[in-house]
Structure 1
Amino acid sequence: MQGWIKAGSVEELREQGSKLIKGGIVVLYHEDNVHALDNRCPHLGFPLHMGSLCNGILTCHWHHARFDVCSGGTLDPWADDVPVHEITVHEGLIYVNPQARNGNHAQPYKEQLQRGMEQNIGLVIAKAIVGLIETGIPEKEIAAIGIEIGVKQRRQGWGSGLTILTAMMNILPKLDKQGRILALFQGLLHTARDLSGSGTRFLLDPLPNTNVSNKRLIEWYRDCIEVRDTRGAERVLLTLVQAGVEEKRLFSMMSMAATDHFYVNGGHTLDFHNKAFESLKYVEHKQRDYVLASLVPMFGSATRSEELHSWQSPINLVQPLKDVFEELNNKGIPSVSGGGADIKEEELLQALLGDDPLQTISMLKEALLGGASPVRISQIAALAAAERIVRFHLHNDFGDWISVLHTFTHAHAVHEGLIRSTDSWLIRGIFHTAITIYLDRFLNIPAAPRPSTAIINKEVPSPEELLEILDKQQQVAPAAEWVTRYLRSGGEPAPLFNVLGHALLREDAEFHSFQMYDAAVAEYDRWSSEPGPFAEKACETLILALTRYLAAHAPTARETPHTATIAWRLHRGEKLFEDE
C-alpha cells in the first residue's frame, strides 16, 4: 500500500468511533464498516469529527449539514458534497488513500459548477471555479459553461448577469490570479442569480426552407422589432443564422434595430448587444443560436427615449435628429472602415460637454459629411461621457451616478459597435450619446474640480494604498487625488488597474460598477496606444472616472468575495478552525 496512510487497526477504531489522521482526514467506524472523509465540512470547514454519526448520516454541528457517510453526498445542497477517501483493510489494519475519490479532476468540478449555477449556491460555484483553475482549465472554458447555462435557463433572455460575466472575462488580463478567480466568481454568481426563479428558454425553429433573400429577411427582422414582435424576430434571426450569415452582418442588423429608436432602454439594449457578441468568442459554435436569440426578448417592452418628455421639452431634441439622419441618408456618410478627415478633437470634446445641443448635432453632422471617421467620433463621444463622471459633483443625488454611468457605457457600446459593424448607420448611436451627454449637464453644475497636480511624490506610492482609502465611505475626492499623484509620479498603469480591479471585486458590487470597470479599461486601452497630449489626458480621464465611480460605491458588506476566499482556503487544505 505504497503512499497510503496507515490509520491503525479496525479494533482500535471500533472502540474509538473516529480517528484523525494526517492530511486532514477523519476515519469513522459505523455499522460494521470503515469510512474515510475530509474532516472539514465542505460548507465552512468545521471539523466533522466533532459532529455526530447516526443511521448512516454524518451531521456537522455548525450549520447542521448532513452527509451520507458512504458517498459523501449531502442532503443539503447549499453545503456541497464532502470528499471521501478510498480505504482498504489488510490483516486487520486500515489504510487510507490520501487522494480523495471525488478529488482533483476537471469533470466533477464542471458538474459541480453547473449544479451550483442551476441551484444558485454561491459556495458551490466558488469551489468549482477554484478547482477548475487549479486543475489548469482555461478561464474561457469555465466562462463557456456559465454562458451556456445563462442563455438556456433564463426565459427573459440576455440579462445583467451575462453582461457582468462577459465584462469580467474581458478584464482578466488586467488581474492577478486571485483577481481572476474573483472576476469569474462574480460573473458566474450574478448569472446564477439571474436564473433564479426563471424558466428554461426554448428556441423557436427557423422559418422553413425558402428562397427569401437575406436582404429581405433583414428587413423583416427590423420590421418585427419595430412592432415589438419578438417571436417573429427570433424566427427570422435564426433563419439567418442557419443560412450562415456572417457574424458582422448579424451584428449590424441587430444593432441597427437597437438604434432605430433613440437610446433604447436607457442605453442597456445596445450595451447588451455588444456584450453578447463579445461572448461569442468564449462559447462553442453550436451555442451561437442561443446567445443571439437571447437578445430578442428585451425589445418586447423597450423604452424609446424619443417618447420621453425630457427629449422633447423644453427643447425638442427629437426632430433635429430625425432631420439630420434624413440629410445624412441623402448625402451619404463614410463607411465605418473609411473616413480619414482630421477632426478638431478638443473642439468636438468641448462641444459635446457644452450646453448647445443643436450646435453639437450640427458639428457632428458636418464632421461626418466631411469624411471624418465614425469610429473616431464615437471614441471622442465616449471620452466626453467619461468626463461627465470626472466632473460629477457630490452634491448631486447619489442615484444620479447611474445616469452618467448609463451614458458612458452606451457611448462605449456605440464605439465598440462601430468597430465591429459593417453598417455605418450605427452612427445614429453617436447622436443618441451626444444628447444624453447634454441632458446630463446639470450633474456637472457645479463641476467637481479635477484633482490638483501641485503635489507629486518623489517615489511612486504603493497601489495598495488606494485599497486602504477605499475602506472608508465618501472617499471620492481623496481617491481621485491619490490616483492623480500616482500617475504623475510615474506610476505604471498595470498595477493600478489590478488594484482597481480588486477594489471592485472585493465588494458586493451592483451591476453598473462592473460595467464601469469594463468600459473604462477598454476605452483606456484604445487611447493608450496613441501618442500626444490629448491621448495622455484621455487616459487620465478614464482612470479618474473609474476611480471616482468605484470610490462612490464602496465599501459594502463584502459577502461575495468572502465566499470565494473560503472556497479557495478549503481547496488548499487550510484549517478554518484552530482547534481542528
Structure 2
Amino acid sequence: MNGWIQAGTVEDLREQQPKLIKGGIVVFYHEDEVHALDNRCPHLGFPLHMGSLCNGILTCHWHHARFDVCSGGTLDPWADDVPVHDVTIHNGLIWVNPNSRNSNQVQQYKDRLLSGLEQNIGLVIAKAIVGLMEAGVPETEIAAIGIEFGVKQRRQGWGSGLTILVAMANVLPKLDKQGRILALFQGLLHTARESAGDGTRYLLDPLPNTGVSEERLTEWYRDCIEVRDTRGAERVLLTAVQARVDEKRLFSMMGMAATDHFYMNGGHTLDFHNKAFESLKYVRPDQHNEVLASLVPMFGNASRSEELNSWQSPVNLVQPLKEAFEDLSNMDFLSGSEGFCIDDEEMLQVLLGDDPLRTVRMLKEALLGGASPVRISQIAALAAAERIVRFHVHNDFGDWISVLHTFTHAHAVHEGLIRSTDSWLVRAIFHTASTIYLDRFLNIPAAPKPAAFVATEEVPQPAELLEILDKQQQVAPAAAWVIRYLRSGGKPEPLFNVLGHALLREDAEFHSFQMYEAAMAEYDRWASESGPFAEKARETLILAVTRYLAAHAPTSRETPHTAKIAWRLHRGEKLFEEE
C-alpha cells in the first residue's frame, strides 16, 4: 500500500468513529462499510466529522448540505460534491488513498461553472472560477464559457450582463490576480442573473439560398430592422454568416442598421454591438453565429432619438444631420486619404460648445476634406469624457448616467470605426456630437477641476484612494488625490489596478463597469501618443473614471464578499470558529 494512509482497524473505527487522518480526510464506518471523504464541506468548509450520518446521507450542520456518503454527491445544488477517497481493508487494517477519485479537476470545475450559471448560484460560480484559475486555465477561456452560455440562455438576446462580462475580460491585463478573480466573477454573475428565468434562445435557420449577394443581404437586413422584423433580420444575418462574410463586413452590415436611426436605445445599441464583436476573440468560431444573432432582438423595441422632442426643439438637430449624411453618402472612407489635418484642440472645444450647427458643419467639412473618421471619433470620446469631468454634483444623481451613456456610445463609435471605417457608421460620430451638446447643461455650472499640485518626492500610495472611497460623496477629494498622484510621478499601472478594485469591490451597477472599461481602452489609445494634448487627454480619462466611481461608492459589497469566501475556501482557510 505504497503511499496510502493507514487509518487504524475496522474494529476501532466501528467503536470510535468518525476518525480524522492526515490530509484532511475523515473516515466513517456506516452500514457495515468504510467510507473516506474530504473533511471540509465543499459549501463553506465546515468540518464534516461534526455532521450527522444517517441512512447513507451525511449532513453538514452549518447549512444542512446533504451528501451521499458513498459517492460524495450532494443533494443540494448550491453545495459541491465532496471528494471521495478509495478505501481498502487488509488484515483488518484500513488503508486510504490520499488522492481523491476526482481525477479531471479542470473538467469538473468547468461543469460546476456551467451549473452555477444555469442555476444562478453565486458561490458555485465563484468557487469554479478560483479552481479553474488555480488549475492554470486561461482566464479568457473562463470568460468564454459565460459568453457562450449567455447568448443561448437569454431569449431577449444580448444585454447588460454579457456586456459586463466582455468588458471585464477586456480589462484583465490591468488587474492583479485578486482583481482578475473579482472581474470574472462580477461578469459571470451578472450574466447568470440576467439569464435566470428568461428561457433558452433557439436560433432560426439561415435562408436556403446561400448564393444571395452580400449587397442584397445587407439591404434585406436593414429593411427588416427598419420595420422591427427581428425574425426576418435574424435569418438574413445567419445567411450572411453561413456564406462566410468576414467579420469586418458583418460589422459594417449590422452597423448600418444600428445607425440608420439616431442614438438608438440611448447609445446602448451600438455599444452592445461593439462588445459582442469584441467577444468574438474569446469564443470558438462555431459560436460566432450565436453571438451575432443575439444582437438582433434589441431592435424590436429600440428607441430612436430623432423621434424625441429634445432632438427637435428648441434646436432642430435632426434635419441638419440628415443633410450632412446626404452630403457624406458618397464618400469613400476606406481609401485612407488624409488630406485634411484637424486641430485636435479646436475640434474638442467645438464639440464642447453650445452651437450644434457649427459642430455639424465642422465635422462635415473635416470628413469631406479627408480627415480620419477614427481620429475625429477619438476626440469626440474625449469630449464626452470631459463632460464627466465637468459634471457638477449639484445635478440630479441620476444624470450621471446621461453623461455616461454619451461617453460609452462615443467609445463604441471609436472602436467601431477602427474595426470598419464604413461611410454609414460615420453617422454615429454626429450622433455622439449631438448628445455631447444635449449634455451641456449638466456642466452648468462646471465642476471645478482639482487645484494644481506641486510635485513632491513622495508618491501617494494607490491604496489611499480606496480609503477615500470608503465614504460617500468623495467625488472632489478622489479627483484631487488622483491629480496629486499623477503630478508626483505616480505610475499609471498601479492606479489602473486600484481603480479596478474600487469598482470590483462594490455591488456596482451596470454603468460603472462600462465606465471603467471604456476609460481604460480610450486611455490606451492616447498612450501611444506624446505631446501636451495627449497628456491632457490621458489625465481627463483618469479623472472621468475616478469621479464616476467615487460618485457611486460605497455600496454594501455583498457580491465581492462571495468571491472572497470562495478564494479563502480554496486556500483552506477556516470560515467558522470551532468549539
Does TM, scored on the shorter chain, surpass 0.5? Answer: yes
Equivalent pair of 1:158/1:272 in contact (CA under 8 Å) = yes
1:336 shift after superposition: 7.3
2:176 equivalent to 1:189:
no
1:399 shift after superposition: 0.9
| CA shift in 2, pair 1:103/1:481, >3 Å | farther
Q: Secondary structure, in 3 states, of the residue corresponding to 1:407? A: helix
Aligned partner of 1:341 in structure 2 is: 340
Equivalent positions of 1:140-289 (< 5 A) are 140-209=140-209, 211-289=211-289
Cα deviations across residues 171-197 of structure 1 (Å, max 9, x unaligned)?
011111111111111111111111101
Equivalent positions of 1:397-408 (< 5 A) are 397-408=396-407
Output the CA distance in 2 between the equivalents of 1:264 and 1:507.
29
Equivalent positions of 1:119-138 (< 5 A) are 119-138=119-138
| CA shift in 2, pair 1:336/1:124, >3 Å | farther
Equivalent positions of 1:2-21 (< 5 A) are 2-21=2-21
Output the CA distance in 2 between the equivalents of 1:384 and 1:44.
48
Aligned partner of 2:508 in structure 1 is: 509
Equivalent pair of 2:333/2:421 in contact (CA under 8 Å) = no
| Percent of aligned pairs sharing the same letter | 82
| CA shift in 2, pair 1:420/1:300, >3 Å | same
2:460 equivalent to 1:461:
yes
Higher deviation after alignment, 21-30 or 200-209: 21-30
Equivalent positions of 1:33-112 (< 5 A) are 33-102=33-102, 105-112=105-112
1:471 shift after superposition: 1.3
Q: Secondary structure, in 3 states, of the residue corresponding to 2:424? A: helix
Output the CA distance in 1 between the equivalents of 2:446 and 2:103.
57
Output the CA distance in 2 between the equivalents of 1:39 and 1:336.
67
2:428 equivalent to 1:429:
yes
Higher deviation after alignment, 417-426 or 92-101: 92-101
Aligned partner of 2:139 in structure 1 is: 139
1:245 shift after superposition: 0.5
Cα deviations across residues 369-412 of structure 1 (Å, max 9, x unaligned)?
12110000000000000011111111111111111110000000
- Residue 436 of structure 2 aligns to which amino acid in structure 1? I
- Residue 364 of structure 1 aligns to which amino acid in structure 2? L
Aligned partner of 2:387 in structure 1 is: 388
Equivalent pair of 1:47/1:577 in contact (CA under 8 Å) = no
- Residue 557 of structure 2 aligns to which amino acid in structure 1? R
- Residue 415 of structure 1 aligns to which amino acid in structure 2? H
Equivalent pair of 1:340/1:373 in contact (CA under 8 Å) = no
Output the CA distance in 1 between the equivalents of 2:418 and 2:234.
25
Aligned partner of 2:481 in structure 1 is: 482
Output the CA distance in 1 between the equivalents of 2:417 and 2:145.
29
Aligned partner of 1:550 in structure 2 is: 549
Aligned partner of 1:577 in structure 2 is: 576
Aligned partner of 1:117 in structure 2 is: 117
Output the CA distance in 2 between the equivalents of 1:479 and 1:86.
57
Equivalent pair of 1:17/1:28 in contact (CA under 8 Å) = yes
2:447 equivalent to 1:445:
no
1:210 shift after superposition: 5.0
Output the CA distance in 1 between the equivalents of 2:135 and 2:510.
30
Higher deviation after alignment, 177-186 or 321-330: 321-330
Cα deviations across residues 436-486 of structure 1 (Å, max 9, x unaligned)?
111111111111111111343321111111111111111111111111111
Q: Secondary structure, in 3 states, of the residue corresponding to 1:53? A: strand
Q: Secondary structure, in 3 states, of the residue corresponding to 1:96? A: strand
2:328 equivalent to 1:328:
yes
Output the CA distance in 2 between the equivalents of 1:199 and 1:442.
42
Equivalent pair of 2:57/2:66 in contact (CA under 8 Å) = yes
Q: Secondary structure, in 3 states, of the residue corresponding to 1:316? A: coil
Output the CA distance in 2 between the equivalents of 1:128 and 1:425.
43
- Residue 431 of structure 1 aligns to which amino acid in structure 2? F
- Residue 273 of structure 2 aligns to which amino acid in structure 1? H
Q: Secondary structure, in 3 states, of the residue corresponding to 1:376? A: helix
1:491 shift after superposition: 0.5
Output the CA distance in 2 between the equivalents of 1:210 and 1:144.
29
Q: Secondary structure, in 3 states, of the residue corresponding to 2:49? A: helix
Cα deviations across residues 4-57 of structure 1 (Å, max 9, x unaligned)?
222222212111221222222222221112222222222222222222111111
Q: Secondary structure, in 3 states, of the residue corresponding to 2:324? A: helix
Output the CA distance in 2 between the equivalents of 1:494 and 1:340.
37
Higher deviation after alignment, 172-181 or 86-95: 86-95
Equivalent pair of 1:333/1:371 in contact (CA under 8 Å) = no
| CA shift in 2, pair 1:28/1:359, >3 Å | same
Equivalent pair of 2:270/2:413 in contact (CA under 8 Å) = yes
1:79 shift after superposition: 2.0
Output the CA distance in 1 between the equivalents of 2:535 and 2:381.
15
- Residue 474 of structure 1 aligns to which amino acid in structure 2? Q
- Residue 145 of structure 1 aligns to which amino acid in structure 2? I
| CA shift in 2, pair 1:486/1:340, >3 Å | farther
Q: Secondary structure, in 3 states, of the residue corresponding to 2:365? A: helix
1:252 shift after superposition: 0.4
Equivalent pair of 1:418/1:424 in contact (CA under 8 Å) = no
Q: Secondary structure, in 3 states, of the residue corresponding to 1:79? A: coil
- Residue 112 of structure 2 aligns to which amino acid in structure 1? Q
Q: Secondary structure, in 3 states, of the residue corresponding to 2:189? A: helix
1:103 shift after superposition: 5.9
| CA shift in 2, pair 1:97/1:574, >3 Å | farther
Output the CA distance in 1 between the equivalents of 2:92 and 2:468.
62
- Residue 482 of structure 1 aligns to which amino acid in structure 2? W
Question: What is the TM-score when the length of structure 2 is the normalising length?
Answer: 0.98
1:138 shift after superposition: 1.0
Aligned partner of 2:366 in structure 1 is: 367
Aligned partner of 1:523 in structure 2 is: 522
Output the CA distance in 2 between the equivalents of 1:48 and 1:106.
24
Q: Secondary structure, in 3 states, of the residue corresponding to 2:26? A: strand
| CA shift in 2, pair 1:340/1:63, >3 Å | farther
Question: What is the TM-score when the length of structure 1 is the normalising length?
Answer: 0.97
Aligned partner of 1:304 in structure 2 is: 304
2:351 equivalent to 1:352:
yes
Cα deviations across residues 106-160 of structure 1 (Å, max 9, x unaligned)?
1111111111111111111111111111111111221121111111111111111
2:458 equivalent to 1:471:
no
Equivalent pair of 2:328/2:364 in contact (CA under 8 Å) = yes
Output the CA distance in 2 between the equivalents of 1:334 and 1:151.
33
Output the CA distance in 1 between the equivalents of 2:90 and 2:492.
61
What is the aligned residue count? 579
Equivalent pair of 1:83/1:103 in contact (CA under 8 Å) = no
Higher deviation after alignment, 386-395 or 48-57: 48-57
Higher deviation after alignment, 78-87 or 284-293: 78-87
- Residue 256 of structure 2 aligns to which amino acid in structure 1? M
Aligned partner of 2:558 in structure 1 is: 559
Higher deviation after alignment, 193-202 or 47-56: 47-56
- Residue 286 of structure 1 aligns to which amino acid in structure 2? D
| CA shift in 2, pair 1:230/1:50, >3 Å | same
Q: Secondary structure, in 3 states, of the residue corresponding to 2:67? A: strand
Output the CA distance in 2 between the equivalents of 1:305 and 1:154.
26
Higher deviation after alignment, 467-476 or 449-458: 449-458
Equivalent pair of 1:67/1:82 in contact (CA under 8 Å) = yes
